[in-house]
A and B are shown apart, each in its own frame.
Chain A
Amino acid sequence: MFGRDEKVSEIRLTAAQYIILGIFLVLAYGLWKLQVMESGYYSSAAEKNRVRNVPVLAPRGKILDREGRTIVDNYPSFTALLLRDSSRDLVADADLISQGLHLDPNEVRARIRHFASMPQYQPIFLKEDITPDELQFIEAHRNELPELDTIMSHRRLYPRNGFMAHLIGYVGEVSEDMLNQPQFELYNAGDVVGISGVERQYNTLLMGTNGSRQALVDSHGREVGRLGETEAVPGKPLKLTIDIDLQIAAEEALGDKNGAIVAMDPNTGEILAMVSRPTFDPNDFAVHVSRDQWNKLVTDPDKPLLNKAIQAQLAPGSTFKIIMSFAGWQDGIARNLHVHCNGSADFYGRNSKCWVYFKHLTHGDVDLEKAIYQSCDVFFYTLADKLGIEKIAKYATQLGLGQKTGIDLPQEASGLIPSEEWKAKTFHQKWYAGETIFVGIGQGAVTVTPVQLARAISAISMGGRLVVPHVINPTDLPSNYTEAAHFTDVTSVPLDPSGWNYITDAMGRVLLPEGTAPRAHIDGIDIAGKTGSAQVVSLENRAKHKDNTDLAQNGWFVGFTPRRNPDVVVCVLFQGGEHGKLAANVATQVIKAYVDKQRKTPQKMVEKPKPNGTVDIGGLWSEPNSDGSNDKLQGGRFVLDLPKKPLAAAIAAPGMHQ
């Protein structure tokens, strides 16, 4: 027992002191370990926290027309996102956010809940390619809604309504498949590359080289400063041989019709205009194409994604008679051939009809000239029979048919010129002489693409000068771009000058009253050409099913002006157009636009770009998808800079008036 004043054990107090000393020694050791022994590791960890390598995207090169007018440009596009590592109650803010961004609040809340289990640093992508007023909303609510942020990327701004869509093509993220191909091996997943058209063909030039920036960031990933930067090398602008004025004329001339137009300078092979219908809006791909939209494009029987100017392989119909005339002239058979047309003729036990048979008419006595401007089938049956398939194939091949023209666009089709060898190889069958008869009028197995036909006919109009069609002038390309070297190649196809005069003169009469397309005649312009109506089924069957538009004949017209050494060749394919004279009307509109421009009476001129480099072409990009999916963007690269000034509400569109 002891009293109140008994002291506490001195030993235990001293022990307490030593325990405290021990604690402090342990803590001091902890500091020593971190700050002295492992300081290097933690310093670099702090550096890694603080410094982040942000890719600086190289803007893709513009695409210009032959006069330097902008066709395709870039625009800054903003994606709205929610930062989840802020202390804000995201669900509570969902209403205001949805209102400002025009989203469904329930969907936004569902997305927030869906992300609840993901790491905090992963933001939620709310909406791609937001409109200027939505961007304004975010900027105006920086304080109230600090969790709402944007990232910027450059997107392609294409002419709207599918203007020139096939030729230009579109860009997209490089796919797994593409990464395995040697031409794309240098790219990384997420890189945006050209998928089709010129965008794909000249991707290496357009793409430029991305730079990188060492950014100082805070724990929210917000940039608070920068250390250094390797500048991006912007993609090179690409000047096409396309003339926007002529392109507009061609787009308007074809309108809503299915088909294609190729306008080419026969002296050089420069493509002046190229149209394919139906078309698609590549701006839909620039943001995020929905599965529905994509499926619709891919399954559409009219194949809107196909560039028919280089990919449609169809029977050339009567336009092939010019090739036959060339073959017959060079062979000598056609020069003095006279055939009597009764509306039909018998070959190899089969009565083959001329197109006038169905009008209960005959052509009577026909020579080569009349056979061309009247498009007499019986004459060309006879000529084909006399020439035989091997000679036809030889001369057609000389004019570049049945092979790719070498145009600088991806996925060109080669068409087909049948021969004995081809049939033996493909069907293991002998060629029957009766088949040759129909090849003579561009039917049967023979198929061509519009660009092939334009090239072949242009060679005849030029007296045998066969050029390589191309959409880029090789002198506008870097000298080390060897793929363009063959663009200036010219092949001299042997064509007797008298034959040249004879055939082109005959073609000049096609648009005269005695020809097959007199209504396409334009006073004051010397247009030579040839109509064609290619059967989808036999004429007899067609007569039985008059109302089935799927069986309607394809109309063709290849025309040029002037009739010898022309300045322009235009090939029109009008699918389901029934008769070549309708295609001729389309073609002569394009030729007229060309001639008018040459004579300085332009119908529609597009303004030259302003010297300060502002965008003078493009259009309103389509309403972004509201399904809010963001799988496209997440793999992409973007810069985190926010420009200070808001976007212009809209950018003027070129020529495509509605």
Chain B
Amino acid sequence: MARYVSYRDFDWVLLGFVLLICGLGVMEIHSATVHTKFAGAHVKQIYWVLAGVGAMFVMSLVNYQVLLDQIHWFYIAGVASLMAVLLFGQRYLGAKRWIHMPGGNHFQPSEWVKLILILAVAKYFADMRQRELSWSDFMKAGAIVGVPMLMVLAQPDLGTALTYVPIAVMGVFLGGLQWKQGLTVALLAGIGIGAVFTVPRVHVLKSYQKQRLTSFIDPELDPQGSGYQVEQSKIAVGSGGLWGGKGSQTHGNFLPVPQTDFIFAAFSEEHGFVGALGVLLLYFIVLMRLTQNAQTAPDRAGTFVVMGVVAVLSFHILVNVGMVVGFMPVTGIPLPLMSYGGSSVLFMFLALGMVMNVRMRRFVN
């Protein structure tokens, strides 16, 4: 079996669009923070992007099939790191999400667990021997994602835990979900979500989650709480109009954390409907390009890996932009590639590195 890997097969077009989005993000971070105590964040973001590109190249070199063969070790390590967070993690704003690393860095294991889950789910479904999914496969796939997800929920970090869901959903869907199963799961999920919304007293969700969810239902009930953030975000987006405006919501500090979770609201305020739609289009091109790479993957596992990345990226965009325009509750999920933050940027580029990895091996067989 000849192995020939070349950067000719690297997806430069995809990288171009990705870097374009990152560039817009850096611009907006600069604009949103220039007169605040976060001034200079855009420079740090540039370093994170550069580090991410480097990590992506490294990631593309390690054969994903080797990674898949060793995935059980990675999975164990991932679960162990989540356990470590629960035991030794740093508590910040009421949640344990980080492990303090030597050298003053913070490590957020829930991000890299996302990568491991993409690979683990891909491996599981690639090894499956029948076209149609059995309930037992369904349960096993659910367990692979469910265990770490519960651990992240315990931190508590509802947002990140939710981002694990699309990995499983995408795997199950492509792995041969039957209509009956799909309907059953959709029904159960519908009942579950309905219960959360209608019975706020259930103790499944933490109080801050309930507050976020209930204020989402009617933001005006609580103008200075979580609903306040949604309301300010909507005002920011809406006042941007067609062509964008002065950005008083962003610069007057009315929009909460405009450089991270609400960066799309800040961008929409300053660049209007035209600008915001342009960014959505860029993301759509990236996603379509990724799906195309999934179709040309050398094997089932490759397709699952790429589609896992597609699922996570789409979910982030749906939840984040949905939150910004008031369709979704505030969950603390950043907009990949644009929002300020090292963990998020590094995850996206490592995920893209895996996509490149798959693509570069499409003719290798």
Other contacts beyond A4-B301, A17-B288: 16, CB < 8 A: A4-B300, A9-B176, A13-B174, A21-B284, A23-B314, A27-B280, A27-B322, A30-B321, A36-B273, A39-B241, A39-B242, A41-B238, A43-B238, A49-B248, A50-B252, A121-B224
| B237 to A, closest residue via Cβ | A34
How far is it, in angstroms, between the C-alpha of A120 and the C-alpha of B227 when the chains are bound?
Answer: 13
Interface residues, chain A, with chain B CB atoms under 8 Å away: 1-2, 4-10, 12-13, 15-17, 20-21, 23-24, 26-28, 30-36, 38-39, 41-43, 45-47, 49-50, 85, 119-121, 216-220, 224
Also in contact, A219 and B254, with CB within 8 A (given A6-B300, A16-B170, A20-B284): yes
Most buried by A among B248, B268, B304: B248
**Is the Cβ of B252 less than 8 Å from the Cβ of A217?**
yes
Q: Which of B229-264 contact A (CB under 8 A)?
A: 232, 234-242, 245, 248-249, 252-254
The distance in angstroms between the C-alpha atoms of A46 and B236, with both chains bound, is: 7
CB distance from B119 to the nearest CB of A (A): 16
Q: Is A30 a contact partner of B326 (Cβ separation < 8 A)?
A: yes
Residues of B close to A224: CB separation below 8 A:
252
B185 contacts chain A at the CB level, 8 A cutoff: no
* In the complex, B303 has a CB within 8 A of chain A: yes
With beta carbons under 8 angstroms apart, the residue of A13, A21, A26 that contacts B307 is A13
Flag whether B41 is at the interface (Cβ < 8 A). no
Does B277 count as interface, using CB distance less than 8 angstroms? yes
In angstroms, Cα B245 to Cα A43, docked, is 9
- The 22 sampled A-B contact pairs (Cβ below 8 Å) are A4-B126, A4-B127, A5-B300, A7-B300, A9-B176, A16-B173, A20-B291, A24-B284, A26-B322, A26-B327, A27-B327, A31-B237, A32-B273, A33-B325, A35-B268, A41-B238, A43-B239, A46-B238, A46-B249, A47-B248, A217-B252, A219-B253
> Smallest CB-CB separation from B325: which chain A residue?
A30
| Interfacial chain A residues near B235, Cβ < 8 Å | 42, 45-46, 49
Q: Is the CB of B224 within 8 A of A119?
A: yes
Interface residues, chain B, CB within 8 Å of chain A? 126-127, 129-131, 170, 173-174, 176, 223-224, 232, 234-242, 245, 248-249, 252-254, 268, 272-273, 276-277, 280, 283-284, 287-288, 291, 294-295, 299-301, 303-304, 307, 310, 314, 317-318, 321-322, 325-327
Within the complex, the shortest CB–CB distance from B240 to chain A, in Å, comes to 5
> Which of A23, A30, A46 has the most chain B CB atoms closer than 10 A to its own CB?
A46
CB distance from A32 to the nearest CB of B (A): 7
B280 adjacent to A24 (CB under 8 Å): yes
Contact pick for B291, options A16, A23, A220, CB 8 Å: A16
In whole angstroms, what is the CA distance A46 to B238 when docked? Answer: 9
From A8, A17, A23, A28, B303 is in contact (CB under 8 Å) with: A8
Q: Top 4 nearest A-B pairs by Cβ distance?
A: A42-B238, A30-B325, A46-B239, A35-B273
Assuming the contacts A7-B300, A20-B314, A121-B224, asked whether A28 and B280 have C-beta atoms less than 8 A apart, the reply is: yes
Complex Cα–Cα for A16 and B290 (A)? 12
Give the nearest-CB partner of A119 in chain B.
B224
Q: Is the CB of B252 within 8 A of A219?
A: yes
* B237 & A35 in contact (Cβ 8 Å cutoff): yes
CB <8 Å contact, B248 and A50: yes
Q: How far is the CA of A364 from the CA of B9 in the complex (A)?
A: 140
A35 lies within 8 A of B326 (CB): no
A47 to B236, CA, bound (A): 11
B73: min CB distance to chain A, Å: 21
**Roughly how many angstroms separate A33 CA and B126 CA in the complex, as a whole number?**
42
List of B residues within 8 angstroms of A7 by Cβ: 300, 303
Complex-state Cα separation, A43 to B244, whole angstroms: 11
Please, how many angstroms separate the alpha-carbon atoms of A464 and B200 in the complex? 88
Cβ–Cβ contact A9 & B174, under 8 A:
yes
A217 to B254, CA, bound (A): 10
Among the interface residues A7, A17, A218, which one has the most CB atoms of the partner chain B within 10 A? A17
B145 to chain A, nearest CB (A): 18
CB-defined contacts of B174 to chain A, threshold 8 Å: 8-9, 12-13, 16
Instruction: For B300, list chain A residues within 8 Å (CB).
Output: 4-8
Q: Shortest Cβ distance from A601 into chain B, in angstroms?
A: 67
In the complex, chain A residues whose CB is within 8 Å of the CB of B303: 7-8, 13
Interchain nearest-CB distance for B129 vs A (Å): 6
A121 to B272 CA separation, bound complex (whole angstroms): 29
A16 to B129 alpha-carbon distance, docked (Å): 22
Contact of B325 among A12, A27, A121, A219 (CB under 8 A): A27
State the Cβ distance, B329 to closest chain A Cβ, in Å. Answer: 14
For B301, give the chain A residue with the smallest CB separation. Answer: A4
Q: Out of A16, A30, A39, A41, which one reaches B322, CB within 8 Å? A: A30
